[in-house]
Amino acid sequence: MKKAGYRKTRLDAAAPGVHDARMKAWLFPLLLCCGFVSADESPITLVIHGGAGVGRESLTPDKEKQCRQVLEQAVRAGHAVLVKDGAALEAVQTAVMILEDSPLFNAGRGAVLTGAGTAELDASVMEGRTGQAGAVAGVQGVRHPIQLAEMVMRKTPHVLMIGRGAEELARAEGLRFEDLDWFITPEQVARLERARKKSAALDDNDFSLRMGTVGAVALDRQGNLAAGTSTGGLVNKRSGRVGDSPVIGAGTYAENGVCAVSCTGHGEFFIRNVVAYDVAARMKYGGASLADAAEAVINEKLKKLEGRGGLISVDARGGIAMPFNSDGMFRAWIGPDNVPHVAIFQD
């Protein structure tokens, strides 16, 4: 078994098509001069994640293949929105909905189960252009929590809605519901059993029980940024526990001209450290590049606190950073090369 340790991963240097924010700083003007991109069009970029905390030992070759397939499908679908001049937020939603529908990831169908054996779902979205945001926490039965988060943003004067009140909005707006059993997969039932046997409370060291969340960040042709995150939270969690995913500033943040961020990991650490906004603040007030800001938050600040997880992020130029300090983080991206890349570990 591979020793779980903190590893630096500013970017997957070996993977083609990835450019960090500093590289972008000279690449973009260069492409501009050469006529490869026009001044009024941003280099469209989509990055998605399927959660941090996966261990190599828990991933069979067959399951890894399935996960990679779904990640590629999701990143392709979201990117197709951007190619057709669609909005960053629409691309984010499109990708996240595919991950929510997949039983392989901890969001929507296949979400981990609470101590009560139910799937309580959280999600959020934020739009960099308007600074608008929407989020839901503790909802049941809503097939696509990310859609409901967007509904809170668009259809109400509110940002965060929880539980029954949020479900009523989903009904009123005609969002798709599924039977509560539809969300529950045999794998998650088994996982809950294992978690219950292990301890009444959670074993703090069993990261595989804690992690898992899906999310996406995008930069569209108009230069608008957006971010979205969706999760089932923590296996065997107390009913009512909410992690960072629906917390704007912690799990999700987007601001045009700065960056878009979606987080995954041990949610309590991400809330206390206001992780998503902290990346933006280091850029805005400290002049850090996206790569340095994201790295400092995940591999310095959170690492010191033993707060495990990672994030995906894109800046206003399409530069991306995907640091994580856990064993692995499911992720995929399509940048200026228009080619989908998928990675799980420090490949």
Residues that bind a copy of itself (CB under 8 A): 126, 131-133, 137-138, 156-166, 168-169, 201-202, 204, 237-243, 247-250, 253, 267-268, 271-274, 277-278, 281-282, 284-286, 305
Q: With the C-alpha atoms ordered 313, 158, 101, 196, is the resulting torsion angle positive or negative? A: positive
Give CA–CA dist 219/145, Å, rounded: 22
Roughly what angle, to the nearest 10 degrees, separates helices 145-155 and 163-172?
Answer: 80
What span, in angstroms and rounded, lies between the C-alpha atoms of 61 and 268? 31
Alpha-carbon span 44 to 243, nearest angstrom: 30
Instruction: Tell me how far, at minimum, the Cβ of 334 lies from a copy of itself, in Å.
Output: 28
190 vs 201 by CB, closer to a copy of itself: 201
Which residue number, 29 or 240, has a Cβ lying nearer to a copy of itself?
240
Shortest distance in whole angstroms from residue 136 CB to a copy of itself: 9
Minimum CB separation of residue 93 from a copy of itself in Å reads: 18
Minimum gap (Å) between residue 187 Cβ and a copy of itself: 24
Minimum separation from the CB atom of position 191 to a copy of itself (A): 18
**How far apart are alpha carbons 274 and 272 in whole angstroms?**
6
| Angstrom distance (rounded) from CA 239 to CA 157 | 27
Nearer to a copy of itself, 134 or 340 (CB): 134
The catalytic residue positions are 213
What strands lie across the sheet with 309-315, from one edge to the other? 252-255, 259-265, 309-315, 320-321
Q: Could you tell me which residues come within 8 angstroms of residue 79 by beta carbon, excluding any fewer than 6 positions away?
A: 44, 46, 91, 334, 338, 340
Burial of 124 from C-beta contacts in 10 A (0-12 / 13-18 / 19+):
buried
Q: Which is nearer to a copy of itself, 168 or 337 (CB)?
A: 168
Complex with a copy of itself: residue 18 or 296, whichever CB lies closer: 296
